Structure 1
Amino acid sequence: MLKKAFFTNSSGIMCSRVFGFLRDLYTAHILGAGIYSDIFFIAFKFPNLFRRIFGEGAFTQSFLPSFIASQKKGIFAISTLLIFASVLFGLSLLVWAFSGFFTKLLAYGFTEEMVALAAPIVVINFWYLELVFIVTFLGTLLQYKNSFWVSAYNTALLNICMISALYLSRDAQSLQIVYFLSYGVLCGGVAQILLHFYPLLRLGFFRLFSVGFRHMWRVYFVRAKMHWADEGSKKVKHLAKQAKADIKMFFKQFFPAILGSSTAQIASFIDTMLASFLVSGSISYLYYANRIFQLPLAVFAIAISTALFPMVAKAIKNHEEKRALKSMKKSFWFLFVMLWVCSIGGVMLKDEIIWLLFEGGSFHRSDTLASANVFAMYMIGLLPFGLSRIFSLWLYAHQLQGRAAKISAISLLFGVVCSLVLMHYFGASGLALAGSLSGMMLFVLSVKEFGLSRFWDIIAYAKGWVLLLAIGAIEVGILYVFLHFFHIN
């Protein structure tokens, strides 16, 4: 089951990322790395941050254990959906009303003229937040039934819509292109939601929604008309009490998990804000480099942790710790080897990768070299960021989101301090290096909380270390020969 779920996730993520790279390639070719690309990336940063928090972190890792434990799954699911949808709708209205303030918050280093240009773009992109929550909610329900393909492939629809928007506006002025691209984001969100409907229907979730709505109607509307001593009233009161307890437990886990599972995303958000104080194009360098960095992280770390989490959570609930640890050990070594190979290749081929993917049109050789240095600094943190996800699952499965939040808060604070220091010496590359140092801190603290004895049981595998060193040596030799014959100036 784990292998099937992993390959479903990884193939879907790879498909989505391929379209994502085509989107970024097209964006770089049309907008380059300048003021208008910076405006769009700033506007897209906030909803994209929440997409990653919801889709790859806090919501999924808090909702799924609560949903598994819930006795009244229908009313719990519907209540959660309505609460979040209402809050996010209100937040989107707030951003619309005070767009200038929120834009300045996103890019404090922007001039007033740039803020005025970016504010409407920020508002358009922020509405995607409502859509992406619905996508994540529906995808998490499907994960409960071990159906992963929709969550893996749905991001491709977002990228396809954005590519279409770029194509339709390719001959327009730069600012108009940014508007088209922003509306393409919203179209992509709607398409992502629609993709979930068939598997939800096939797996019986619409019946669950129907039951949940009926229970909510009884709890919040019919109950008021019942006599307190009626048998029906007592049942409704019990239902309301159970639903309230489930929601309370979920939010008790959710709020710490917002920080606990979102270190990389929050750090990237802060880096973007700090980069607005650097030379023009720094935000774009960070964005393009981070996009490539996210590929191996998504294809391997996120894919395997997404597949592993429901299995670990169910095993912990059934008091089968040994089975959970066995699955974690297999996942750890597979992930270690894959990320080790990617890290070596990324650092050694940093210039060639950026050149191959982005150089051309308005993206010049100087942009390639600057982005490549940023990319290399990101790749240093690939292993610790990826492996820390395995050990974080242990805490989330035990509903210890508070401890995970504490670990992430420490690593995030450490990363921010490093960013403030290193950006003065290395610019955008310093911000990326600070993120990698934060990832190392996150890994060390996660392993400590997981337990050193359990960690030793996982890494005490001599054949694995021999294989790791052999693969690394062979890869370095092959890439050294390759670079001897082919490299860019």
Structure 2
Amino acid sequence: MNLIKALAQTSSMTLLSRILGYIRDAVIAHSFGAGGLTDAFFVAFRIPNLLRRLFAEGAFSQAFVPLLADVKAQHGDESAKSLIDHVSSFLTLVVFITTLLGIIFAPQVVYLSAPGFRADSVKFHTTVDLLRVTFPYIFFITLVSLSAGILNTWNRFWIPAFTPVLLNLSFILCALFLAPHLHAPIMALAWGALMGGLFQLLFQIPFLKHINMLPRFRLALHDQGVRRVLKLMAPAIIGVSVGQISLLVSTIFASFLPTGSVSWLFYADRLMEFPTGLLGAALGTILLPSLVKHHSLGHEDRYSDLLDWGLRLTLVLTIPAAAALAVAGIPLISTLFLRGAFMESDATQVYHALIAYSLGLTGLIGVKILAPGFYARQDIKTPVKIAIMVLLITQIMNALFMQFFAHAGLALATGLGACINATWLLLGLKKRGLYHAKAGWPLYLFKIAMATLIMSAILWWGQGSPSLWLTGSTLERLIRLIPLLTIAAISYFLSLWLMGIRFHHFKKEGA
């Protein structure tokens, strides 16, 4: 398996999903605006979405995929199929019961998650109605996550990467075509979420059949594999929760800052999602099965080499991306967001946050590469312990930096926290003898730095005065932005080529 080819496929599918996500947000904003009804939907959808992050895509994947890959490598497909059947049966039962309880006790769930809605009877009952439709989404998306873990283990990476496209399409189509026919148009979004989850699951079934790994119901509560997954999930849930707690605490800090601070951080974070999603999540996904197989077969040298390859690829792409976000932030922000109620002053404030966030981009993506180095050995506790310590350090930095840099200080704390997390993970891997840096790193970093400086100079000179980007139409800004970014990217990769770094240096075969 060519890892570069797999990364390109996965990243392109992720890019398509992100683009449709922006279109989805624009359609929802155009159709429903921002008010009590959209507040009700976002609260209703946030609840199953939180459960998805905690139990399905996050904790479950971290526990299940390394175990499945290990069983496949050591005992073959038949044993792997047995594990899949037992785990999927147990998971289906648990999530089905959870879904029923969520529907029955929807009023109580809304009361606990949005107590302020009780003051508005219409908003409260609308949220309850929306939640009862959206809650089954957690049932479908959990099975989608299970399917994704299986497909990734069999190196079908592009399929799970593509499936979120169907959710975004479902939202868009329901908002445009179903909403006008409903007595309560906002309910179209709830049905969009439900159908999106179902469509994603149905899409993956033929591919599971093709590899002969379509689960069948074989409930075995005392199965050793089920117990191992549950044992690994416990620390994984804590680890995923740490990220959600960090986000919540940062929001609390931002609430004490001037009006608009939360929104400025949100828009800056949306820009950061492109490189983190396209590279970080995609690279971590394709690395994990190969790392597990190398570990299972005792190929420790290949294990280390694969991590080294992932780190080199990460740095050659994230360092220029971070520089581009910092240098060309105003052109990017104005092109994407400067219209309507989004003012020039907002663009400036978002830019301040973006600069701070960009300092931590390499760390944010580095964590996605280094953490699988532990997950592949079914060691989830170590990354969780590190994440908890980094959470505490980040909140101290939040309290300190916001005094001097306001909302940008919170972004800076997040970025530096990610760098501390990545460094800690790297040192942990080296201490355990799991990673040994290959020769040539100092010269490699020097070449990346030189190429980045050349690219940054071209961006700085090419964009001209920031005021040029704060006027004119979106189309005019887009016409200027695309050539600017294209020329900058060419200058970067050409500089690397002139210094002896070639594309074929990054070709790598997976296990």
TM-score band by shorter chain is 0.7 to 0.9
- Structure 1 window deviating more from structure 2 (119-128 vs 478-487): it is 119-128
Say which of 144, 151, 167 aligns to 2:176. Answer: 167
Q: Paired residue for 1:182, among 177, 190, 195?
A: 190
Aligned match of 1:473? 453
SS in 2 for 1:196: helix
Query: Residue 147 of structure 1: SS of its match in structure 2?
Result: coil
1:412 aligns with 2:391: yes
- For 1:72-91, list aligned pairs within 5 A: 72-91=79-98
Pairing partner for 1:397 from 358, 361, 376: 376
Kindly indicate whether the alpha-carbon contact (under 8 Å) linking 2:401 and 2:409 is maintained by their aligned counterparts in 1: yes
Q: Which residue of 2 aligns with 1:484?
A: 464
Within 2, Cα distance between the matches of 1:37 and 1:284? 16
* 1:314 CA drift (Å): 0.6
Partner of 1:12: 13
Partners of 1:120 and 1:365 lie apart in 2 by 39
Residues 1:427 and 1:310: Cα distance change in structure 2 (over 3 Å): same
1:79-228 counterparts in 2 under 5 A? 79-99=86-106, 102-103=109-110, 106=113, 112-113=119-120, 116=124, 118-168=127-177, 178-206=186-214, 209-210=215-216, 213=218, 216=219
Instruction: Name the SS of the counterpart of 2:120 in structure 1.
Output: helix
**Correspondences of 1:266-281 after superposition (within 5 Å):** 266-272=245-251
3-state SS of 1:146 partner: coil
Residue 195 to residue 83, structure 1, CA distance change in 2 (3 Å): same
Matched residues in 1 for 2:111 and 2:258: separation? 17
Deviations 1:194-224 (A, max 9, x none): 1101111111123xx34x63xx4xx68xxxx
| Superposition TM-score, scaled by structure 1 size | 0.82
* Residue pair 2:66, 2:288 contacting (<8 A) in 1 also: no
Call closer, same or farther: CA 1:342–1:124 in 2, change over 3 Å: farther
| 2:330–2:351 contact (8 Å) kept in structure 1 | yes
**Is the Cα contact below 8 Å between 1:29 and 1:362 reproduced in 2?**
no
1:487 is paired with a residue whose SS is helix
Displacement of 1:447? 1.7
- Flag the 1:190–1:259 CA change in 2: closer, same or farther, 3 A: same
Given that 2:338 and 2:470 are in contact with CA atoms closer than 8 Å, whether structure 1 keeps it comes out as no
Code of the aligned partner of 2:193: V
Taking only aligned residues, the RMSD between alpha carbons, in angstroms, comes to: 3.4
CA distance in 2, matches of 1:475, 1:384: 21
Q: Which of 206, 211, 225 is equivalent to 1:246?
A: 225
Matching residue's letter, 2:453: A
Q: Which moved more, 1:368-377 or 1:336-345?
A: 368-377
Q: Mean alpha-carbon deviation: is it higher for 62-71 or for 97-106?
A: 97-106
Query: For the residues of structure 2 that align with 1:387 and 1:449, how far apart are their CA atoms?
Result: 14
The equivalent position to 1:299 in structure 2, one of 262, 275, 278, is 278
Return the offset for 1:458: 4.9
| 1:316 is the counterpart of 2:273 | no
Paired position in structure 2 for 1:237: none
Say whether residues 1:60 and 2:61 are aligned partners: yes
Could you report, residue by residue, the CA deviation over 1:351-371 in whole angstroms, capped at 9, with x for unpaired residues?
332332233345555554454
Instruction: Report the Cα offset of residue 186 of structure 1.
Output: 1.5
2:238 corresponding residue in structure 1? 259
Partner Cα separation in structure 2 for residue 314 and residue 132 of structure 1? 27
Q: Is 1:67–1:76's contact at 8 Å kept on the other side of the alignment?
A: yes
Equivalent position SS for 1:451: helix
Name the aligned partner's letter for residue 90 of structure 1: I
Shift of 1:162: 1.3
Equivalent residue letter for 2:173: S
Equivalent of 1:462 in 442, 452, 456: 442
Q: Does 1:451 align with 2:460?
A: no
Deviation at 1:319, TM superposition (A): 0.4
Are the counterparts in 2 of residues 336 and 383 from structure 1 also a CA contact under 8 Å? yes
Matched position secondary structure for 2:298: coil
SS at match of 1:258: helix
Amino acid of the residue matched to residue 167 of structure 2?
L
Q: Is the 8 A contact 2:268 2:354 kept in 1?
A: yes
Q: CA deviation at 1:399?
A: 1.1
User: Cα gap change, 1:307/1:317 in structure 2, threshold over 3 Å: closer, same or farther?
Assistant: same
2:168/2:196 contact within 8 Å kept: yes
Residue 289 of structure 1 corresponds to 268
Larger mean Cα displacement after TM superposition, 351-360 or 310-319: 351-360
Provide the secondary structure at the position in 2 that maps to 1:87.
helix
Equivalent residue for 1:332? 311
Letter in 2 for 1:143: N
Point out the more displaced range, 453-462 or 184-193. 453-462
Cα 1:39–1:359 change in 2 (3 A) is farther
Q: Which amino acid aligns with 2:427?
A: K
Q: Secondary structure at the match of 2:469?
A: coil
Higher deviation after alignment, 334-343 or 163-172: 163-172
Q: 2 CA distance for matches of 1:76 and 1:420?
A: 46
Q: Measure, in 2, the Cα distance between the counterparts of 1:169 and 1:273.
A: 36
Counterpart for residue 223 of structure 1: none
CA positional deviation for 1:315? 0.3
What's the CA shift for 1:183? 2.2
Deviations 1:34-77 (A, max 9, x none): 66555544443344444445665422221122223445433422
The yes-or-no answer on 1:346 pairing with 2:328 is no
Alignment CA distance shift 1:430-1:202 (3 Å): same
- 1:346–1:460 Cα change, 3 Å: same
Q: CA offset at residue 374 of structure 1? A: 3.9
State the shift of 1:459 in Å: 8.0
Alpha-carbon distance change, 445 to 43 in structure 1, aligned in 2, over 3 angstroms: farther
Query: Equivalent pairs: percent with the same residue?
Result: 26
CA distance in 2, matches of 1:274, 1:106: 19
Residues 70-113 of structure 1 deviation map (CA, whole Å, 9 limit, x = unaligned): 45433422332233333333334444455455446545777843
Q: Deviations over 1:147-166 (max 9, x none)?
A: 11210111111111112233
**Which amino acid in the other structure matches residue 150 of structure 1?**
I
CA shift for structure 1 position 126: 3.7
Comparing 266-275 with 288-297, greater Cα deviation is found at 266-275
Are the aligned partners of 2:236 and 2:384 in contact in 1 as well (CA < 8 Å)?
A: yes
Report if aligned partners of 1:256, 1:402 keep a CA contact under 8 Å in 2. Answer: yes
Q: Is the 8 A contact 1:28 1:358 kept in 2?
A: no
SS of 2:339's partner is coil
Unaligned runs of 5+ in 2: 472-511
Contact 1:384 1:439 (8 Å CA) reproduced: yes
CA change 1:315–1:272 in 2 (3 A) is same
Count of residue pairs the alignment pairs up: 459
Kindly state the Cα deviation for residue 400 of structure 1 after the two structures are TM-superposed: 1.0
Q: 1:264 Cα shift?
A: 4.0
Q: Report the CA distance between 1:134 and its aligned residue.
A: 0.8
Which range moved further: 462-471 or 301-310?
462-471
